[in-house]
Amino acid sequence: MTALSQTPSSERAAGNEAPGALAEAARRAEVRKNLLLTTPALIVLFCAASGPLLIMLVYSFLKAGNYGGVEWSISSDGWANVLLHRDIFDDTLSIADAHLTIFWRSVKLSIMTTLVALILGFPTAYFIATRPAESRNLWLFLITVPFWTNLLIRTFAIMEVIRNQGLINTALMAMGMIEEPLQILFTDVAIMLGMTYVYLPLMVLPIYASMEKFDFRLVEAGYDLYATRYRVLRRIILPLVKPGIVAGSILVFIPSLGAYVTPRILGGGKNMMLGNLISLQFGQGRNWPLGAALSLTLLAVVMAALLVYVRSIGKSESGRD
């Protein structure tokens, strides 16, 4: 994920400068060597990452086969079905309410997840960045460990805590605060809690990265000018840490929007998100072109979010000059 913040910088020039044609030949040999080294990785990535997306684009314009798969005739049904629903009996078209509900739930839950993660993550990143250098690494380590542990296991852990006989309900009932267990599992709230839990480190890490270089003399200057603590936070710290906040929000929003495992486990069968709707088309739904079109729609939204991110970086960098 850190790759997002890297700009393809121009690296140090290699080798010695020889004049004229000789330099040109050496340069060409170097490029050839570089491409030769890079090609094997690119071939694998093309076969199992970029290539399949192109095939999916083709599939989204084909006709759905009766038992899954496709028939090789061109059809726009896949794309039309993203928003429209064709009645099987009288062929009338209507808006696909079920899809709209799922789109809306995906967007809503992703935004809420991002906000909650920001509210929890920003103070945490600030806390880590203001620790003394020796203990800072330990705190950072504590944030990174959950990030690298299995997402499925962490979702399972959350499920254990919130289910009806789980820790929260047992504790609340033991304290006599509720009579019946609260139904949290298999609701939208459960999905949001789960996603926040799972993606929180993605919010903390980029904010920390931009906080780390923060110059506290600016804060001191603010206090010298009689700013209140809140004003220092709003007018000095937040504007300077904004690139980290944007990066963190994007990094949480994108996987939330495409989440599959967390809503499947915590949302039950009914509370689907976009990822589950896509998967359904390749299972019981047996509508591969629709599944392909939905996937590409999701991809388009994600790319748009990334574009916003790249632009905001460009802006903050040109603003600094």
Partner 1 sequence: MTDLAGPASGRPPRRPFSIRTQTGFTATAIICFFLLYAPLLPLVVYSFNAGDSLANFEGLSWRWYLSAWENEWVQDASIRSLILAATASFLSTVLATMAALGTTRTRPYTGLTAIYAMINQPLMVPEIVTAVALLILFASIKAATDYHGLAYLIIAHTAFCIPFAYLPIRARLEGMDLSLETAAADLYATPWKAFQRVTLPLLWPGILAGAMLAFVISLDDVVITEFVKSSGQDTLPTYMLGQLRRVITPEVNAISSVLLAISVLVVTIFFFLNRKMR
Among the listed residues 79, 103, 186, 197, the single contact to partner 1 using CB under 8 A: 197
Q: In this structure, which amino acid lies at residue 301? A: V
Among the listed residues 23, 53, 84, 93, the single contact to partner 1 using CB under 8 A: 53
25 interacts with partner 1 by CB under 8 A: no
Shortest distance in whole angstroms from residue 91 CB to partner 1: 28
- Find, among 298, 179, 300, 312, the residue nearest to 246 by Cα: 312
265 three-state secondary structure: helix
Shortest distance in whole angstroms from residue 130 CB to partner 1: 4
62 three-state secondary structure: strand
Residue whose CB is less far from partner 1, 95 or 311: 311
Torsion of CA 56, 58, 62, 68, to 10 degrees: -30
- Find, among 237, 206, 232, the residue nearest to 121 by Cα: 206
Burial 114-143 (b: 16+ CB within 10 A, else e): bebbbeebbebbbebbeeeeeebeebbeeb
User: Using CA atoms, how far apart are residues 48 and 257, in angstroms rounded to an integer?
Assistant: 22
Among the listed residues 106, 113, 124, 271, the single contact to partner 1 using CB under 8 A: 124
Among the listed residues 76, 101, 130, 135, the single contact to partner 1 using CB under 8 A: 130
2 interacts with partner 1 by CB under 8 A: yes
Which positions from 208 through 267 interact with partner 1, judged by CB under 8 A? 215-217, 219-220, 223, 229-230, 233, 237, 254-255, 257-258, 260-261, 264-265
Residue whose CB is less far from partner 1, 93 or 138: 138
Among the listed residues 76, 101, 135, 149, the single contact to partner 1 using CB under 8 A: 149
Shortest distance in whole angstroms from residue 279 CB to partner 1: 7
Which positions from 150 through 189 interact with partner 1, judged by CB under 8 A? 150-154, 156-161, 165, 167, 170
User: Considering CB under 8 A, how many residues would be counted as binding partner 1?
Assistant: 107
Residue whose CB is less far from partner 1, 14 or 177: 14
41 interacts with partner 1 by CB under 8 A: yes
Among the listed residues 69, 71, 100, 317, the single contact to partner 1 using CB under 8 A: 69
78 interacts with partner 1 by CB under 8 A: no
Residue whose CB is less far from partner 1, 85 or 154: 154
User: Using CA atoms, how far apart are residues 280 and 320, in angstroms rounded to an integer?
Assistant: 47
Among the listed residues 75, 82, 85, 146, the single contact to partner 1 using CB under 8 A: 146
Planar angle of CA 95, 97, 100, nearest 5 degrees:
100
Strands 84-86, 70-74: pairing kind = unpaired
User: Using CA atoms, how far apart are residues 1 and 253, in angstroms rounded to an integer?
Assistant: 13
Q: What is the DSSP string of 105-119?
A: HHHHHHHHHHHHHHH
Q: Which residues contact 113 (CB under 8 A, 6 or more apart)?
A: 192, 195, 196, 199, 252, 253, 256
272 interacts with partner 1 by CB under 8 A: no
Among the listed residues 23, 93, 95, 123, the single contact to partner 1 using CB under 8 A: 123
Torsion of CA 289, 295, 301, 303, to 10 degrees: -110
Among the candidate windows 83-91, 104-112, 141-149, 183-191, which touches partner 1 by CB under 8 A? 141-149
